[in-house]
């Protein structure tokens, strides 16, 4: 069911419904314009949460699960409702991910993954017997993921305005990728509505850094207004502009 920016899926607590829920979340995130990278994280968090409901709340008994996905501003809120045993998250200790094999606990990673992959995780219980798990994922000002069109190439996806404020997020992401020795970059501008001289400077510094490490940077999917700014500044002579990610990746040779 769809009402504006709200989607609802009703299933029962059968393990075979996990694939159906994953497909539902994938469609929702695609409709909300999220990247494949963001969608993967959200699907994984929801999968871990629903698995806990099936195994612990219902203890292999069949019961209803309601999955609600809604967008509020730039946030995606996932609410899971069930009528199983209430869950107390304070009883779950955070796993020691640095522990050696012989000291590793079996299980206990579900809540850890949910909290690491989502920006907010809250539990609520009402007087009518419903348990609610609310998870929030905020849209990233900049995200990055490996390109599906070429090995060893990372796609960077900024959003909104690359002005003095927005450019700082792009600069931080590009620096983080450099620290991880990822120097073959495609910057996808499909969600960028504006770029200022600060944004241009951020890209110039990043491409210099990449080329010093035998890497490079390509740009794609620029709207006409942003593309015109690149040409006015002569940046299209420094950073070739491509229509699609696939073309930009192919330019690496």
Q: What is the pLDDT of residues 106-163, one digit of tens each?
A: 556 788 889 988 989 999 987 778 999 999 998 777 888 899 898 899 999 998 889 9
Spatial neighbors of 148 by CB under 8 A, at least 6 apart, are: 36
The domain ranges of the chain are 2-138, 142-250
Q: Three-state DSSP class for 217?
A: strand
Element holding 158 (H helix, E strand)? strand 154-158
71-119, pLDDT tens digit by residue?
A: 988 789 999 999 999 877 666 667 666 667 676 565 567 888 899 889 8
Residue 245 and residue 28: Cα distance in Å, rounded? 23
188 has pLDDT over 50: yes
Q: How many residues does the chain have?
A: 253
195-210, pLDDT tens digit by residue?
A: 999 999 999 999 999 9
Element holding 219 (H helix, E strand)? strand 216-220
2-138 shares its CATH topology with 142-250: no
Q: Which of 46, 109, 116, 50 is nearest to 76 (CA)?
A: 46
Residue 128 and residue 31: Cα distance in Å, rounded? 33
Average pLDDT over residues 214-222: 97
Q: What's the pTM value of the predicted model, to 2 decimals?
A: 0.61
Give exposure, 128-166, as e/b (b: 16+ Cβ within 10 Å).
eeebebbbebebbbbbbeebebbeebbbbbbbbbbeeeb
Class of the CATH domain delimited by 2-138: alpha beta
pLDDT number for residue 100: 73
In contact, 77 and 136? CB cutoff 8 Å: yes
CATH superfamily, with its number, for domain 142-250: STAS domain (3.30.750.24)
10 has pLDDT over 70: yes
Kindly tell me the burial class for residue 174, based on how many C-beta atoms sit within 10 Å of its own C-beta (0-12, 13-18, 19 or more).
buried
Average pLDDT over residues 209-217: 96
Pairing of strands 2-3, 6-12: antiparallel
Q: Three-state DSSP class for 48?
A: helix
């Amino acid at each position: 069911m769809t009402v504006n920016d709200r989607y609802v899926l009703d299933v029962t607590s059968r393990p075979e419904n996990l694939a159906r829920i994953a497909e539902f979340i994938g469609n929702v995130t695609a409709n909300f314009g999220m990247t494949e990278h963001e969608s993967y994280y959200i699907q994984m968090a929801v999968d871990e949460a629903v698995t806990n409901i099936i195994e612990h709340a219902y203890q292999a008994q069949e019961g209803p699960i309601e999955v609600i996905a809604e967008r509020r501003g730039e946030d995606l809120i996932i609410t899971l409702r069930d009528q199983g045993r209430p869950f107390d998250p304070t009883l779950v200790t955070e796993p020691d991910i640095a522990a050696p094999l012989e000291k590793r606990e079996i299980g206990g990673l579900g809540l850890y993954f949910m909290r690491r992959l989502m920006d907010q995780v809250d539990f609520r219980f009402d007087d009518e017997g419903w348990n609610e798990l609310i998870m929030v994922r905020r849209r990233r000002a900049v995200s990055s993921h490996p390109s599906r069109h070429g090995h060893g190439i990372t796609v960077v996806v900024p959003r909104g305005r690359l002005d003095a404020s927005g450019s700082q997020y792009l600069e931080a992401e590009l620096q983080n990728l450099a620290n991880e020795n990822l120097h073959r970059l495609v910057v996808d501008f499909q969600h960028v509505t504006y770029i200022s001289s600060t944004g241009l400077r951020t890209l110039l510094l990043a491409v210099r850094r990449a080329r010093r490490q035998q890497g490079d940077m390509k740009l794609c999917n620029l709207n006409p207004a942003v593309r015109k700014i690149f040409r006015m500044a002569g940046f299209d002579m420094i950073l070739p502009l491509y229509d699609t990610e696939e073309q930009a990746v192919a330019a690496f040779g």
